[in-house]
Structure 1
Amino acid sequence: MNTNSQFDPAKDRHPLPGHEPVAVERGTGKKRSARRAAKHSAAQGAGVDPRVQESGQRKQQRKRRTRAIIIAVLAVLLALGGAGAVLFSSYGSIIAERLGFGEPKNYAPGEQTGEATVTVRSGDTGTVIAAALEAANIVKTADGFVEYLLQEQPDATFNIGTYKMQQKMTPEAAFEAIQNPENKVDLRVTIPEGFVVKTALDRLATATSIPLSEFEEAAKDYVALGVPADFPSIEGFLFPATYEFQPDDDARTILKTLVDRMWQALSEHGVPAEDALEVLTKASLVQREAGPNLDDFPKIARVFQNRLDQGMNLQSDASVAYGTGNLHTVWTTDKERADAGNKYNTYANPGLPIGPIGLPSDAAIAAALNPTPGPWLYFMPINLETGETRFSNTIVEHEENVKLLGQWCTAHRAEGGKLCD
């Protein structure tokens, strides 16, 4: 959905809010000079913690005073002996941090090692991203990364996506890495037009490293994914396109994305939900029989519609082959064409098959809805390499075209070709 392969970068860039809850509240008991107040206001407007704006000299003076006080406190604790030891055990870490001897918030330069990924999602703020970096051990603490942003990158923006980064990085190195588009992990998958569900699931499993069994299990509960209950399976309802997924997307989420995209296509063509089965079944027949020849889509759709209108069986070898489980050919035998138990057999059974026989493209859906006007009742490819197809109105003309295909196949086999096997 909206799909991950179709996000708008202009909408998915997220500035680090200047008001994120990382700054310590200032007291309001003292008046500030107009100059200092103006400085404080400007800092807030720029999205920077006002403390960062103080001069280095004032900070150093305050640190020296604080350190002197804490050293005096330590001296008192030592003089108290055992009681002082108890107090130090409770507050020693705080004292050490104030003295600059506490655990640092950031990894040192040169410590980076290993590898991890972090995902930036739509709506994530700088604080959320910092927490994700800490959880992946990319930075030592979220606070350290946030402080770096406030001090050095107050206007930072982040692009959504998943990024591969080293662990134990400094905040600066982590920021540079997450800004580098070369570190973005793209789980990009293309589902070609005309694929059947089985091959589509195989491709999704390979691209995402999610076990095929998880996709198959999710596909069984296709109604929960949004497919109408009158469909015999999820076949035909996964829209063929290129998608981009995130590493933490599961099989159900991915299939739901493809189903939602098919609903989008149907909506754009004005197809109501109650007509989805008929339209996608017709479109899948067109897709499978026409192959890559887009110009033939509307004419083949017309042949099928004319035959339906005249009460003729569709006699699609592609649908028969699908029902036998032979998904790699449209060639069928006399025995297969006579098997009325095959619910996809349009030789032995009237009307449309019980459901789609593949994943139809947008062009195939359009053809099914708007067939080219014409009287044709038959079509026959006469060159399987180029896809050249002849259309005819009578059985006599059709049989002549069948002979042309036979001649082409004879020559093709003589040259070692396999397309007619």
Structure 2
Amino acid sequence: MRYLPHTPEEIDAMLAAIGASSLDSLFEPVPADCRMTGTWDLPAAKSEWELNDHLRHLAAAMRVDEHTKVLVGAGSYQHHIPETVRSLASRSEFLTAYTPYQPEMAQGTLQGIFEYQTLTARLLGVDVVNASMYDGASALAEALLMGLRIAKKKKRVAVAKAIHPHYRAVVRAYLQPAGYEVVELDFLASGRTDLSGLAKLDDIAAVALQSPNFFGVIEDLEAAAATIHGAGMLFVTCFTEPLAYGLLKNPGSCGADIVCGEGQSFGIAPSFGGPGLGMFGCKEPFTRNLPGRLVGETKDLEGRRGYVLTLATREQHIRREKATSNICSNQGICAMTAGMYMASLGGTGIRQLARLNYDKTQHLKETLRKAGAKVVFDGPVFNEFVVEFPTDFQLAYERLLAKNIVAGLELGALYPKMAGCHLFCVTETIDKQTMDTIAAEVGA
């Protein structure tokens, strides 16, 4: 982007137009003790090559770089990104496109989002998918608000403790200030959510589960749907790893009313925690309560195919009191990237990749078990699992870190009762040699 500073003559003209004598006079309403005096304490300017050397020096100080094998998932996953996705997503017509305020003038952007919606609806097994949301956590909060709108007079929602802790924190931040109550459901020895006491809870609009959940355990969504619907509640499912549905039965076909989650795994690098992609879909009867925007296909007066914003129930398009969400923009480039990723792999490729991830996870789980680790939950898992070591794992962790391997995430900070337990994640980026090295250090 070019930077074109104003000339002194242009500045004088603008000041004259507003009746100001100088730039300093613009700040007179700000109290003197709130204004900065003196000069900025900045280092001397560097040449381009000096700056490059400085940045390389800073990068070398990081413990984790592109050569490091990372076995930490917990909502952000290391996956191979096909070069086709990198190439297409970096094209200027996609990368620089912003939310189309005059949508009919942005047919390419609308078509790309339409394709993303179509592929996501097939993946999740839902009738309708919106034009994306900020991330998985805010998508879950919006899903529960949607459930409260549908249920009308109810004021409570139930959320599984096995949902990502950060997602639950965002849900509380969204709902509690608005006067809604969030009830948390504990998990069983299998790692699955305990729904046995659900019938005793009243005034519950919706129940949210994550599958695979934070511990990597696959919930029994069909049984959960029967229990939740039997209690007269809406069933919301979320996810942090959409690749799982290349292998598992998708939530929509298991009876979920609203499905949402994080799409970072689909062609978007972890990038120190962002940006992410909020994927969001639902059954057709709930479409009018869908937050955000929905792109649809139509025909013009001459019968040519075109794309339009079929539904835009956000504050920028309709009166605030009628809005289903205050979301101000969708994650356009991230949604387009996820669509490119799904199209590049296709249904067969996603299924094969999901199977590879599953098989590698099972290999490491069994290898660590043979090395003396205890697998904490006995439920079926995808990509992630929790283990507890017979001795303090910290020394082995440091030895592995020295070998450029980040071996798991200690759970004590997130689940105090699970202090000493470690969450491991395995994707296609982890090879057998890395897994064998971890097992050797554990058994040392």
Is TM > 0.5 for Structure 1 vs Structure 2? Answer: no
Name whichever structure is richer in strand by fraction: 2
| Interval containing the TM-score (normalised by the shorter chain) | under 0.3
**Relative to total residues, which structure has the larger helix share, 1 or 2?**
1
| Greater relative contact order (Cα < 8 A, sep 6+) | 2
Return the TM-score normalized by structure 2: 0.18
